[in-house]
Amino acid sequence: MTRVLVADDSATVREYLAYLLGEDPALEVVGTARDGLEAVEQAQRLRPDIIVMDVHMPRMNGFEATRQVMERIPTPIVIVSASISREEVALTFEALKAGALTVVDKPGGPDHPKHAESARRLVETVKLMAEVKVVRRWPRGERPAPPAPPAVKADRKIRLIAIGASTGGPQVVAEILRGLPREFGAPILVVQHIAPGFTEGLVEWLGQGTPLAVRLAEAGEPVRPGTVYVARNGVQMGITGDGRIRLTKEPAEDGFCPSASYLFQSVAQAYGRAAVGILLTGMGRDGARGLLRLREAGGLTIAQDEESSVIFGMPGEAVRLGAAEHVLSPEQIVVTIRSLVGGLMGR
């Protein structure tokens, strides 16, 4: 039985979430909290297997509560958000950065047209995330410096970077983008699995932390150096040989739309050895087969290492398939792509 703590400042929402979760025989709601301060106290006292956390709460919001939980008593946290305001969306992504695993949209009431779908997604997400082994988040300034990345031969001009990520991905994508210079000499295409309704907020949040331009991908637009293009929800994103975004209503690949595998396969066909593919933390296998295609086409391929991954599913599958030429931490990924792209500008 998975023990769940629910934190939300609305009594009605708390009761409703507890009801939805308690309906599943594998879940038991062991406590509720009215704000982030109570959530931290209840987490220390009850030691739940997982916390379902709102972000906009009095006394202590969900971001600060997440930070304190992850520093004191590491526990899987799922953020539930209505994504109704820029402030709430920003807090949601800050909570993910602080260690929350993922975000789901807050289910509407029984009369809402998407009630059944959102309720099912919440329950399934809680059950899946409860299995994730989270580790303590070190307070800022206490993390040891990572080892230097392996030397990567700059024997080609890199014209494109493609990134795929899922659970735990937003904070890693943000860390990578934050480490790149404004004059970065290649465009970056990103597929990030995230709940419907949060992609626009992700784009805005990523843009606030990097000197690069970050935007939602538009069909047919030419990609430009120093710009990050984030895939839209519900469509597959690829790239043409002449460097234009391709958005298509093709079926899900590896269970996802947008799919990292779809992106990598498109990049392999259009750019080959002039591209870098990076597969980050995430549950499942999406991206691994596509990364293999990119490596076979001569592209340079990287998987995030297990130690830094929230979930090693996607990068682990890439390693198993032999799709990853290098297995690196986020800090090492930044150093590597800066040396490849920055060092080759002007050639």
Give the active site residues: 166, 193, 286
3-state secondary structure 185-219: CCCEEEEECCCCCCHHHHHHHHHHCCCCEEEECCC
Contacts 24+ apart (CB under 8 A), 19-25: 20/107, 20/119, 20/122, 20/123, 21/52, 21/122, 21/123, 21/126, 23/123, 24/123, 24/127
How far, CA to CA in Å, does 225 sit from each of 159, 181, 182, 323? Answer: 8, 11, 9, 26
CA 109, 111, 114, 116 torsion-angle sign: positive
In a 3-state reduction of DSSP, which class is residue 48?
coil
The amino acid that residue 266 corresponds to is S
Q: How far apart are CA 17 and CA 119, in angstroms?
A: 9
